[in-house]
A and B are shown apart, each in its own frame.
Chain A
Amino acid sequence: MTYQPQNDFGTPESRSDETVSLTIDGRNVTVPAGTSVMRAAAEQGTSIPKLCATDSVKSFGSCRLCLVEIDGRRGTPASCTTPVEPGMVVRTQTPHLAKLRKGVMELYISDHPLDCLTCAANGDCELQDQAGAVGLRDVRYDVQATHLGQEKDHSNPYFDFDPSKCIACSRCIRACDEVQGTLALTMEGRGWDSKISAGLASDNFLGSECVSCGACVQACPTATLVEKKVVEVGTPERSVVTTCAYCGVGCTFRAEMRGEQLVRMVPYKDGKANRGHSCVKGRFAWGYAQHQERILKPMIRKSISDPWREVEWDEAFAYTASELKRISAKYGRNALGGITSSRCTNEETFLVQKLVRAGFGNNNVDTCARVCHSPTGYGLKTTFGTSAGTQDFDSVEDTDVILIIGANPTDGHPVFASRMKRRLRGQDGRPGAKLIVIDPRRTDIVRSPHIEAQHHLPLRPGTNVAVLTAMAHVIVTEGLADEAFIRERCDWDEYSHWAEFVSQSRNSPENLQPVTLVDAEKLRAAARLYATGGNGAIYYGLGVTEHSQGSSTVMAIANLAMATGNIGRRGVGVNPLRGQNNVQGACDMGSFPHELAGYRHISDGNTRKLFEDDWGVTLDPEPGLRIPNMLDAAVDGVFKALYCQGEDILQSDPNTAHVSAGLAAMECVIVHDLFLNETANYAHIFLPGSTFLEKNGTFTNAERRIQPVRKVMTPMNGLEDWEVTQRLAQAMGLDWNYTHPSEIMDEIARLTPTFAGVSFARLDEAGSLQWPVTADAPDGSPIMHVDGFVRGKGKFVVTDYVPTDEKTGPRFPLLLTTGRILSQYNVGAQTRRTENVAWHPEDLLEIHPVDAEDRGVKSGDWVKLASRAGETTLRATVTDRVAPGVVYTTFHHAVTQANVVTTDFSDWATNCPEYKVTAVQISASNGPTEWQEEYEALAARSRRVETGVPAE
């Protein structure tokens, strides 16, 4: 389509069920009560001039341009702040209004630079449009004082701030307050001196608390806040709606293009996950897609000590297939395996697991969810019957008590965090939701502007189950359980058994306090609030799953929700916040070695037959190897070939030394990725990948929402990722002939009951669909377990606290826990190749002042971080965000390789690694460790590409 800005109705939508009918310019219109006159007019296609109003924020009534006349009312009220009333008769265009508006516009323009033709917003400027709309032809004022000629602020890497072009409408301030919830912006001064300020007047945008979400840029009606890319390239000429490839929130964006050049990503107002909001990653950090380090040609080499040799695709596929066949013949079919990617589309993931099962002839397929949310799959399937969260994101609007455990949404899931914060602040006279945070660190959401958690329980890392059991103890022993719900929805005997267990005095908060380090009274208060505070919703992340009792914790969470009746309606539920964009989808698509698409066990003969008949193969009924098992088998010399799509296991998986030993023991490591990532140091074949901008497909977000990913440019490497897998499968002798990813989705729908009603055509029509999409629920299922649990009766599972085997002691007295930061994403392969490094150029070690003082460590010092598994160096930052005895770092930078120190311990049920608990010691350091030096040398050697042309 040609470029059209998104419709702006001026003021937010009213959610009222009541309707009001009125007449605007002689036409009748019916809208929900509470709608503004401006919006009612916009909905019938009447555009009332406006400057300070935009539909992402509440009306403000400052610009005086949207004045209207209303029969029976005196004067000319502002249409943005005037709600509709039954029978109202409104006129938006009269000679009197035209005169007033022209006068207002004349004042604005008298203090605005008249450089429209060279302005970055030329053609996309509301001030320019409104000047045209009111018919302004000249400015009569000979203005002496102006606010023109001020210095621009170029500090933010993605957008410029030109105060001279500001019309002081405050849309940016209100967007920061209401949409993002950071409250970083304010208006300094008065009159001519009025100036938007990020943080203190002495701050620039980069140095302020601004999180660069882009809400202000989107709200700005002029070129005051404008994307640098628009300044550089010009305004877009077309747009395509697509889905962000960063976190599990799954924001919908408009990719705004000039030809095949991406100009900007603008959050899409009709996106049901993000509702028009964005974060710094999705909005701005897409420069990696055109980064010079992208590998665009396939490469092969005999040995990892050789330099890479570029080849054509045909040679790459033939060589790869011959290597896989050779290894299969020599070592047996079980020596081969594959890893699907949560960054790739559902269709691509489905094909990789199909290649392994149907082509390699085994079930050695796993996905990166192994190392993040595999316990969610196990725990929620066991208790509820479905390996997925229970709610949609909109549900939070009806929540009264938000319980966050082991998640840091403002960093990991920022767009949903903004929606949470909006609910926590309260709105329009409705009090905010209450907040309980269970986390070893004082994360940002514990205390931020207008938000303060009622309870922050800073538990000792590794004691989640003990804390949740203690909460259950309080709920059951104080008679706060919802027995009516339990009797109706759950197995009563299992509940009774569980209730008896949690009621034991050894599970009381007081008795567990020495283990959890959580104040018993605070824990009791938190439990009472969750049980009695109205709709209670639990949101959790990797701080729950990445433990030796990750699955138990997920089940303990499910127990709490069932015991309090917080399942099966809006406002409640159990909500895993997924890490990567398509973690949910990768799991749904049958990426786990023990189950086929739709979470059906490989040993189930009926399911297997369905796939066997469709694929024309015989499937192995035994489960295959999980990623850690593959590495063990490789070290044992029996696992020899790995096809790894869109993952960097060397950096992301625990105990780097063990991962590298496993990879080094293989004869054929195939890395299919955008960049020569860390795993590629051990690869023999490199297949270049395509970005989310270069392919069609779908991602499924944390709310089970299947969303289209649309190709906006030709793949720089020549092939979409699904085509690469298909060509490899064809080279292996498989008769695959997909011509478009929609055909792959048709196959998924054919073979997976929960996807039965999904097709690309349906997705185009609906925008997105939340599975299950079935004959009973053709439009999808925003909330699950509404009339009963998927498994029948909800299952209470006794979760006894078992301390981790990773113990602190004299040599390693501190507990390391790892996590993420807003500006970087996972292993950083994408975000490190963007300007986001301005915010986070290196991983830092957070250490409490007491621990730092004991070791003579100051902020900025290099320190050695050592565990039983290995050691690395990084710089320290001293902060009381972490408790004494706990240290924290991120794993975004390959130079640090935080996973050199993490251990092999893992979740008992799923082998999800225990990233969140490692016993460590910190000491002063003056340089990189031996490992870091050796690894740097290896990486440099391994990335050599032959450039010379061989002599004839």
Chain B
Amino acid sequence: MNSVERLVHMANQIATNLATDDAPVAAVADHIQQFWDPRMKKMIFAHGTAGLSPVAAAAISLLADAQNGA
């Protein structure tokens, strides 16, 4: 696994484990926002949604949008 593949794997893993949350997309986005360093976030934003589960993809999009909007 290279670094991007690992980030995709991690995002999917987070999404799977937060799947039972009331608002899983927001929960995944919040988790990544709280625990990933800026470079990791940038890398996955640049990578796009390939290989991401729907919840993970939505969360990454949510974060990327928030970042761009800021």
Contact = CB atoms under 8 A, between A and B. Distances in A.
Nearest to B36: A623
Contacts of B21: 798
A40 B20 CA distance: 61
A526 interface: no
A909 B6 contact: no
Contacts, number: 59
A500 to B, nearest CB: 11
A601 interface: yes
A551 B18 CA distance: 12
A623 B34 contact: yes
A908 B31 CA distance: 10
A908 B12 CA distance: 9
Contacts of A910: 35
Interface string A584-598: 000000000110000
B19 A904 contact: no
Nearest to A551: B17
Interface in B1-56: 1, 3, 6, 9-10, 13-14, 16-17, 19-21, 31, 34-40
Contacts of B13: 548, 802, 805, 908
Contact of B10 (A501, A551, A908): A908
A549 interface: yes
Contacts of B9: 805
B17 A624 contact: no
Contact of B37 (A549, A623, A904, A908): A623
A798 B21 CA distance: 7
A909 B37 contact: no
**Of listed A364, A623, A626, A636, residue having the most chain B CB within 10 A:** A623
Given A904-B1, A908-B13, A798 B20 contact: yes
Contacts of B6: 632, 904
A629 B14 contact: no
A594 B34 contact: yes
Contacts of A632: 3, 6
B19 to A, nearest CB: 7
A632 B43 CA distance: 12
A367 to B, nearest CB: 15
A189 B1 CA distance: 66
Interface string A630-656: 001101101000000000000000000
Nearest to B3: A632
A625 interface: yes
Q: Main SS of chain B's interface residues?
A: helix
A631 to B, nearest CB: 10
A477 interface: no
Given A601-B34, A622-B37, A904-B1, A909 B17 contact: yes
Contacts of B31: 909
A594 B35 contact: yes
Nearest to B11: A908
A528 B9 CA distance: 38
A638 B16 CA distance: 30
A793 to B, nearest CB: 16
Interface string A692-703: 000000000000
Contacts of B20: 501, 798, 800
Contact of B17 (A633, A904, A908): A908
Interface in A327-381: 334, 363-364
Contacts of A363: 37
Given A603-B34, A623-B34, A623-B35, A549 B17 contact: yes
Given A633-B3, A635-B3, A800 B17 contact: yes
A908 B39 contact: no
Nearest to B16: A802
A867 interface: no
A552 interface: yes
Contacts of B40: 625, 629
Nearest to A911: B10
Contacts of A593: 37
Contacts of B3: 632-633, 635-636
Nearest to B41: A622
A802 B1 contact: no
Contacts of B16: 802, 908
A904 B6 CA distance: 9
A904 B3 CA distance: 11
Nearest to A337: B37
A629 B37 contact: yes
Nearest to A630: B37
A552 B17 contact: yes
A625 B7 CA distance: 13
B66 to A, nearest CB: 13
A624 B39 CA distance: 9
Given A636-B3, A909-B31, A624 B37 contact: yes
B45 to A, nearest CB: 14
Contacts of A798: 20-21
A633 B39 contact: yes
Interface string A612-624: 0000000000111
A507 to B, nearest CB: 12
Given A633-B3, A635-B3, A909-B31, A625 B37 contact: yes
A636 to B, nearest CB: 5
A250 to B, nearest CB: 29
A69 to B, nearest CB: 72
A479 B38 CA distance: 47
A581 B25 CA distance: 39
A603 B34 CA distance: 8
A548 B12 CA distance: 12
A636 B16 CA distance: 27
Contacts of B19: 800
B37 A364 contact: yes
Contacts of A548: 13
**Of listed B10, B17, B37, B38, residue having the most chain A CB within 10 A:** B37
**Of listed A363, A635, A798, residue having the most chain B CB within 10 A:** A798
A638 B17 contact: no
Contacts of A805: 9, 13
A908 B38 contact: no
A622 B67 CA distance: 13
A638 B39 contact: yes
Interface string A883-926: 00000000000000000000010001111000000000000000
Nearest to B13: A908
A80 B35 CA distance: 60
A674 B6 CA distance: 34
A698 B35 CA distance: 28
18 contacts: A334-B37, A334-B39, A364-B37, A548-B13, A593-B37, A623-B36, A625-B40, A629-B37, A633-B39, A636-B3, A800-B19, A800-B20, A802-B17, A904-B6, A908-B13, A908-B16, A909-B35, A911-B10
Given A334-B37, A632-B3, A798-B20, 15 more contacts: A363-B37, A501-B20, A552-B17, A623-B34, A623-B36, A626-B35, A632-B6, A633-B3, A638-B39, A802-B16, A908-B10, A908-B16, A908-B17, A909-B17, A911-B10
6 tightest Cβ-Cβ pairs between the two chains A and B: A798-B20, A908-B13, A908-B17, A632-B3, A622-B38, A625-B37
